[in-house]
Amino acid sequence: MESFLSRYRNPLVLLIVVLAQMLGLAVQVRRPASGKDNHQTRLIRYWVVSLISPFERAFLFTGHSTAHVWDGYLDLRHVRAENQHLQAELNRMRLEQALLAESARQDLRLQKLLGFQQQYISKTVAAHVIGTSGTDLSRVLYINKGSKDGIRTDMPVITPDGVVGKIRDVFPHTAQVLEINDQTSGLGIILTRTRLRGILRGTTAGQAEIVNILPDERIQPGDEVVTSGGDNIYPRGLVVGRVERIVPDPDQNPYVALVVKPAANLSELDEILVITQTQQTMPSTMQQDVDASEQKAADVLAQRLPGANLTPELGPDGKPLNVSMPPALVKPPAPLHPDRFTPGATPPADDLTPDASYQKQIFAPQTSAATAAPSISASKTARSGSASKAAPSGSASKTAPASSQPAQQPRPAQQSHSPSLSKIGPAHPAHAPAPQSNPPQEPQN
């Protein structure tokens, strides 16, 4: 026995060490469903990360200091031209933001009506990437912020370009980020054009794929992919990437997989943002930015379009003359076929009375006027509750069908001065007719 052990000592040692590690692997694979490491494993990782991360931080600091000196003091050529270019771009972006602000507000109102809870990013922590796993089979990154900076597991990690991944493990001064193209990661996504939902997973080759998708002709390469918010980790609407190509799924035959090109450059990340807090209302800073953007956009537009007099002219008494034309930038286009949902089409309910005889008195002499006047005003009155009973709307609509003569339809701004409407009752303040001295103007596009 002794001779056997001495003779096969080397392979026996190898066998024991390998078997011990296999047992260790088996124990780790049976870790809880939460995906977290057990205590012993975490301890080893903690020691190793604590050993290596100071050197990574030192290298990062040295590199950034050198780059700062070079970029901030030495390499300043073309800065003025670049500054002008950026100013121009900033002005353009302000205009775009102002145009989008109204849509966003309307979206908010609709979301409130539907009881939809949107998650807004309210707080982020910026961090530098200081290391990787060193192997292409484990797509993880290490950042220079940890639990002492408020980082917790499962927090989303993004860049201005798109989603990077989520926090997998947190140490006091370091955290591990699991990238979206790792084979163990997954996030809920939605295709913005087709509104198809799916799950994005990483592959062993480092690609990101949307799996378990039935073949659909509507899906095209180039479709944008955003987070769906269904995984309770990533807020809804973050850009993930674009569909690069559609490939058959070899494991599940009828299904296809969509290979996604991540919007964030995952192979060359330097600075990232960790979303540490979200909220269900638009953050005050974002609201202020939108408001400021609208004001500044007005200035920019005034500079670009000198003819667009956005500042109201003041009368001798100091009051603006053109009260009917607020200096609003964004005006919805005039509808071709206005209906009862069109702003200003329906008078306030307080001004409507159920007395049919009274309505008849009002509408009876107006029939000819309504016929001569725009058909829309007639159809508006016809659509509004009691007015439809009082007035023979059929005559008006037959006389001038809205769909048959779109060219003759006046714009809604003119409709507010239709005698028929003015007689129904005082209009809503928002759509009040302008004083006679200031006739309404056409919206300037």
Rounded to an integer, what is the distance from CA 165 to the centroid of its chain? 18
Closest contact distance (angstroms) between CB of 85 and other proteins is 28
Using CB under 8 A as the binding rule, whether residue 248 contacts other proteins is answered as no
Closest contact distance (angstroms) between CB of 232 and other proteins is 21
At CB < 8 A and 24+ separation, what contacts does 214-219 make? Answer: 214/254, 214/255, 214/256, 215/254, 215/255, 215/256, 218/193, 218/194, 219/191, 219/194, 219/243, 219/246, 219/258
Using CB under 8 A as the binding rule, whether residue 8 contacts other proteins is answered as no
Stretch binding other proteins (CB under 8 A), from 11-19, 352-360, 370-378, 423-431: 11-19
Using CB under 8 A as the binding rule, whether residue 142 contacts other proteins is answered as yes
Alpha helix (H) residue ranges in 70-121 = 79-114
Using CB under 8 A as the binding rule, whether residue 45 contacts other proteins is answered as yes
Using CB under 8 A as the binding rule, whether residue 173 contacts other proteins is answered as no
Other beta carbons within 10 angstroms of residue 147's beta carbon come to 14
* The binder of other proteins chosen from 127, 157, 175, 178 (CB under 8 A): 178
User: Segment 56-75, which members bind other proteins (CB under 8 A)?
Assistant: 56, 59
* The binder of other proteins chosen from 5, 33, 79, 137 (CB under 8 A): 137
Nearer to other proteins, 47 or 358 (CB): 47
* The binder of other proteins chosen from 138, 207, 322, 324 (CB under 8 A): 138
DSSP state of 443: P
CA distance 231 to 94: 33
* The binder of other proteins chosen from 91, 97, 118, 133 (CB under 8 A): 133
Torsion, Cα 67 68 73 75, to 10 degrees, reads 40
Q: What angle do CA 55, 60, 62 make, to 5 degrees?
A: 95
Stretch binding other proteins (CB under 8 A), from 176-184, 237-245, 343-351, 420-428: 176-184
Q: In sequence order, what are the residues at sequence separation of 6 or more whose Cβ sits closer than 8 angstroms to the Cβ of residue 147?
A: 170, 171, 172, 175
CB 153 within 8 A of CB 167: yes
At CB < 8 A and 24+ separation, what contacts does 132-135 make? Answer: none
Closest contact distance (angstroms) between CB of 201 and other proteins is 10
CB 211 within 8 A of CB 185: no
CA distance 6 to 14: 14
Using CB under 8 A as the binding rule, whether residue 166 contacts other proteins is answered as no
Burial of 288 (0-12, 13-18, 19+ CB in 10 A): exposed
Using CB under 8 A as the binding rule, whether residue 21 contacts other proteins is answered as yes
* The binder of other proteins chosen from 127, 143, 144, 169 (CB under 8 A): 169
Q: In sequence order, what are the residues at sequence separation of 6 or more whose Cβ sits closer than 8 angstroms to the Cβ of residue 405?
A: 375
* The binder of other proteins chosen from 140, 158, 219, 329 (CB under 8 A): 140
The number of residues that bind other proteins (CB under 8 A) is 51
* The binder of other proteins chosen from 94, 121, 127, 131 (CB under 8 A): 131
Nearer to other proteins, 21 or 117 (CB): 21
Q: In sequence order, what are the residues at sequence separation of 6 or more whose Cβ sits closer than 8 angstroms to the Cβ of residue 58?
A: none
E strands, 1-139, in order: 120-132
Using CB under 8 A as the binding rule, whether residue 28 contacts other proteins is answered as yes
* The binder of other proteins chosen from 13, 126, 330, 356 (CB under 8 A): 13
Q: Please report, as ranges, the residues that interact with other proteins according to CB under 8 A.
A: 9-11, 13-14, 17-18, 21-22, 24-26, 28-29, 41, 44-45, 47-49, 51-52, 55-56, 59, 129-138, 140, 142, 168-169, 176, 178, 182-184, 204-205, 251, 267-270
